[in-house]
A and B are shown apart, each in its own frame.
Chain A
Amino acid sequence: MKELQPIINSVLNSYAGILFLARPAAGLAILLFTVLISPNLGLSALVCVSSAYVFARILGLKEDFLRLDFYIYNPLLVGLSIGYFFKIDSLSLLFLVLMGIFTFLLTYGLSSAFWYYFRLPVLSLPFVVGSLIAALASYHYSNLFVKSLYKFPSFSYFSLPLWLEGFLRSLGAIFFMPQVMVGLGLFLVILLSSRIMALLSVLGYATGTMIAYFFTGSLQEAFSNLNYFNFILIALALGGVFLIPSPKSYLMALVASAIAVPLTEASQVFWEKFGLPAFALPFNVTTMLILYALGLSGYRKLTLYYRGTPEKTLDHYLTLEKRFPARTWEVDLPVSGRWLVWQGPDGKFTHKGPWRYAIDFVVADESGRTYAGEGLKLEDYYAYHKPVFSPVTGRVVEVVDSLPDEPPGSANKDYPWGNHVIIYDPRGFYAVLAHLSPGTLKVKKGDWVVKGALIGLCGSSGYSPEPHLHLHLQSGPEIGSPTLPFVFSAYLKNGEFHDFSLPAEGETIEPAPPERRLKQTLNFLLGQEFEYDFFKNEEFNERFTLWVEMAPDGTFYFTEGKGKLYFAQRGSAFYFLNFEGPRTSPLRYFFLAAPKIPLLLKEGLSWEDYLPLEVSLGPLKKGLYLFILSFWPSFLKFKARYQALNRFDFKGEITFNDENIKTTVRLAPGKGFTEIKIEKENENLTFRRRTNHEQESSL
């Protein structure tokens, strides 16, 4: 039974996946609807999806892979459509199996091609194609027993308002069961899983039908057109699934539902000519077009990891993705000391068009001048002949080292990049450092360099009116390839520690190299144990032990048996990444007190961070907050500011709407946390590491 669990989950998820939910329970509910209310339909679907699944296993695809529900929800939908037209007998069973395998292959191929060429999900396009093919083929298959259409048992014993009935029937139509009861059931499933989705489904349907009503002039017609389920799917997909839920994603959902109206109408007319239903083509076309446009235009809030519901995705986005932007590459600052961002991305001089993601650095003094004396000689410029370091680890693929430094005020228009180095980063991009001084390059083509390795000295070669350093990432190995967005893994700005971000033009920043001691202090290894005494309002509460374990994906976490607190050192800071576990777990407070620790603590250094809602809120409140946040992102007045007191101590203040929490942390120079204090309104919590000596010697 235990081995069957993943398979069952996978099949159930494919049911839920049609509504963009990743919950086996929801899938089970939908499965039961289909089988109980229309056994013919339900069994057909089950046969089709099972054949697809079995075939996928024969191909050698593993459970992990098949967990991606869209691979088999397309065969499922095709099964539903066949079951809708044909009665189950031995012949139609064979047909179902064949179409199931075909649709799976179609999904497999199309999804890979769509992702490769367009970075788009395949959605239910394979279903549209598959069921059209099934319908077309069955023209000549007279041996298949055609059920007479519209002969469903009707449960409409009570009369509903026209719009509600229309909405529920359309919802049911997604599963080829355009009935009020089915729709009601589905809506309940949605509502229980996600309030955001429930709202979106109503909004999408209302928008689409109202627009249709304006054109046709008939409410009756608008509310009885079952193809309008497309509007619901569009609203769900754009409002909450493929975009991070936000006012903008909601607007996008409404706009998309509206523009899908003519498309739905047109495809219905077109396919009717051939006697075929229109299926979900409008949904697929509209959603893909909008996603593609948003992707190309660099929309920042595209969902990277859909976590099962929009709420969960939003929480993930608000915490992890805000803390570690995943859409851009992070590189190290290639200089030492304080440098001024002379020209940033989309700069006013040369960072335009395909070269917009670039940064120019100069050195300026307190009065903002970049040179001492009169600035007539290169040597007058502070930046001149300062070392330049590699921002990435990779292989040097190009070195130009023979162009002269241009005297101040002049520029070489023939070789604008001047002396430069191109380094290939195995993550899949090229880093370019330009305008270096001739004869100073320490690397040659083919060298392997690591982050922070000395590359050469800053110069003024190429199109460079004064000595400066140019940095960008590009997609190809040729100088001048289109540039890619990037962030710096860490830097200091006015005594503040910043990470995974880019400074703005005119800001002065300096690198934040980690201190060797703190790097060791916060380097926790498997098998290490730490014993803590927990005091509540100065009274002893409990004693617990933390130890380090490794998750299957290679990340490490602390656990005391109940909760899991994931951590990592990245760049110049130590991070708590994620907390899983009950609210009673003391690990939650560790996260609260130290979500991020720059590895260069020093009196006065300050930094900010975001905390996941689950660290600070109970489950009910969290759901409510997320719902509100999706409309009103600034609703959460949430601030977590931390400040170092000296090399090993720091304090924090977390303001959470009206709540205020104060924290202090003391690190042990040897290893780990010595003491963590949490001051809330009505309670003081203290976690004190037990007996320094014993701990130290046991390490």
Chain B
Amino acid sequence: MKRPYQKPTILKLQVGFLREKKSSLSRMVRQEIDGVPVAELAEKFGSPLFVFSEKRLREQFRYLKRLFEGHYPRVEFSWSYKTNYLDAICRIFHQEGATAEVVSNFEYEKARRLGVPGDQIVFNGPYKPKEILRQAVLEGARINVDSLDEILDLEEIARETGEKLRIGLRVNMDTGIYPRWDRFGFNLESGEVLNVARRIAAGGRLEVVGLHCHQGTFILEPEAYGRAAEKLVDLSQKLENDFGWTIEYLDLGGGFPSRNRLKGLYLPPEVAVPPLSEYAEKIARALLTRLPAGDYPLLILETGRALVDEAGFLITTVRALKRLPDGRRAYILDAGVNLLFTAFWYHFRVEVEREIPGPPEPCVLYGPLCMNIDVVEESALLPPLARGTRLVLSPVGAYNVTQWMQFITYRPRVVLVTENGNAEVIREAETLEDIVRREKIPEHLK
């Protein structure tokens, strides 16, 4: 093929891993997602457009399941709704055998609406309105208690039903990582957990059957999980001995990283993010060496990001070009931080829909908002892009379609590329009607 003419330029030599076929430079182009051309997707469904790959979702789930179950005999994956609670996405994980992890009345109701039975829901979160708490109790959900006041609520519900309720305790602890998330649940080191346990035992209406901890998010230290598992096992044995309870499950929460590039990390994620197999090994080793053989509590993992992040893409289009006062090139995209909440944490992988001639140069990617903070990427290395060029940002599967906001514009479509290569809309784009439907104008303003 005849190469198009290029203006001669002097370039800094980029040295990638030569043997690595997927080195960063050659990855700059993405023409298709699971066999469906990016251009076709954008033309059919519009831009911006969130695209999820069913194949990647299922493969990642099966990979994680195989991995953890290969190391510990009783594992349950509880799909963290807040990461991405689109019905279709949840359905895929439930089909694969995940239960639901919810943290609010909305999420609980959404899971029930999707047909998840109460006893397959893990209910976390610092505020569980009493009504939904009562419903969860009656439907047999696993409830992990966050505060003493919630224990009082539960005791009241227990009094109403006349049955002893089985609950989980949410615990926070020092596992050697910073920042420590110590606002959730009861502290282990200070002895608060044991005080609370004593209070529960004295109340006589509740029984602790599970322990839960969630250390944080995007944790890059597998050993922290090992330490958390050890501490939970020790605590469970103490509770069993002191109060005669049976601890049925240990819930290590989520926080497992995806291969996204965290801001402030110098190394690329392939190097900086430990493989998930290390997390599995550390957790299993801690459990297997401390628990009596053959008598294993259920290990619950609330993985969200690690399952969904890398299955999500955002197709966006260059809508305007600019040259900044400092000489840098800048582009205005039709998707900004309104759709990409995680842009505050990550440097996304930015790929162009086709090979574009010309030397890559540093540039800034702005979103469509009329605010200074709307920066998708401060410094991307891209060849000169023409207006209308489409970019593919990834991984964007986690948190964006739950934390996105409807600010000055509409939220776009979300499509799913199915396993047999069809693109199906799983969430329609918003319209004016959607947004004004709930508004009311008082009589005197009409």
Interface set of A (CB-CB < 8 Å, partner B): 332, 335-338, 363, 365-366, 382, 385-387, 389-390, 449-454, 510-511, 513, 515-517, 520, 603, 646-647, 669-670, 692-693, 696
Contact = CB atoms under 8 A, between A and B. Distances in A.
B71 A516 contact: no
B294 A336 contact: no
A692 B163 contact: yes
Across the A-B interface, give the 5 residue pairs with the lowest CB-CB distance, nearest first.
A452-B294, A337-B69, A337-B70, A452-B293, A453-B293
Contacts of A365: 62-63, 66
Contacts of B164: 670, 696
B298 interface: yes
B74 A517 contact: no
A382 B66 contact: yes
B295 A516 contact: yes
B297 A516 contact: yes
B119 interface: yes
A470 B71 CA distance: 18
Given A387-B288, A516-B246, A520-B246, A366 B294 contact: no
A510 B71 CA distance: 12
Contacts of A366: 62
A212 to B, nearest CB: 61
Given A450-B294, A513-B296, A516-B246, A387 B66 contact: no
A596 B246 CA distance: 23
Contact of B71 (A387, A449, A452, A670): A387
Contacts of A510: 69
A517 B70 CA distance: 23
Nearest to B296: A513
A478 B117 CA distance: 53
A579 B394 CA distance: 64
B60 to A, nearest CB: 12
A336 B293 contact: no
Given A337-B66, A337-B71, A337-B73, 14 more contacts: A335-B70, A336-B69, A336-B71, A363-B66, A365-B62, A385-B281, A451-B294, A452-B295, A513-B296, A515-B248, A517-B248, A646-B119, A669-B166, A696-B164
B402 interface: no
A444 to B, nearest CB: 16
Contacts of B288: 387, 454
A62 B187 CA distance: 65
B293 A338 contact: no
Contacts of A520: 246
A390 B296 CA distance: 15
Contact of A338 (B66, B119, B294): B66
Contacts of B281: 385
A337 B63 CA distance: 12
B209 interface: yes
Contacts of B120: 603, 646
Contacts of A337: 66, 68-71, 73
A603 B63 CA distance: 22
Given A363-B66, A603-B120, A696-B164, A515 B294 contact: no
B179 interface: no
Interface in B388-410: none
Given A382-B70, A386-B70, A450-B293, A693 B162 contact: yes
A517 to B, nearest CB: 5
B397 to A, nearest CB: 21
Which of A337, A449, A603 has the largest count of B CB atoms less than 10 A from its CB? A337
A567 B133 CA distance: 38
Contacts of B184: none
A516 B248 contact: yes
Interface of B: 62-63, 66, 68-74, 117, 119-120, 140, 162-164, 166, 209, 246-248, 281, 284, 288-289, 292-298
Contact of A390 (B63, B293, B295): B293
9 contacts: A363-B66, A390-B293, A451-B294, A515-B74, A515-B298, A516-B295, A516-B296, A517-B209, A517-B248
Contact of A386 (B71, B248, B293, B294): B71
Given A382-B66, A386-B70, A517 B163 contact: no
A401 to B, nearest CB: 18
Which of B73, B296, B297 has the largest count of A CB atoms less than 10 A from its CB? B73
B283 to A, nearest CB: 12
Contacts of B70: 335-338, 363, 382, 386-387
B286 to A, nearest CB: 12
A378 B385 CA distance: 44
A57 B72 CA distance: 57
A454 B289 contact: yes
A396 to B, nearest CB: 14
A106 B225 CA distance: 70
A385 B285 CA distance: 12
A454 B293 contact: yes
A385 B74 CA distance: 18
A382 B248 CA distance: 29
B284 A387 contact: yes
Contact of A336 (B72, B140, B162, B246): B72
A389 B246 contact: no
Given A451-B293, A693-B162, A338 B284 contact: no
Contacts of B73: 336-337, 511, 513
B294 A513 contact: yes
A513 B296 CA distance: 8
Contacts of A390: 293
A18 to B, nearest CB: 49
Contacts of B71: 336-337, 386-387
A646 B294 contact: no
Nearest to B289: A454
A674 to B, nearest CB: 11
Contacts of B69: 336-338, 510
Contacts of A452: 293-295
Which of A450, A510, A516 has the largest count of B CB atoms less than 10 A from its CB? A516
A16 to B, nearest CB: 46
B159 to A, nearest CB: 12
A603 B117 CA distance: 9
A603 B76 CA distance: 13
Contacts of A696: 164
Contacts of A336: 69-73, 284
Contacts of A386: 70-71
Contacts of B294: 332, 450-453, 513
A696 B205 CA distance: 13
Contacts of A453: 293-294
A332 B73 CA distance: 12
Nearest to A669: B166
A466 to B, nearest CB: 16
A453 B73 CA distance: 12
A444 B74 CA distance: 27
A389 B293 CA distance: 9
Contacts of A454: 288-289, 293
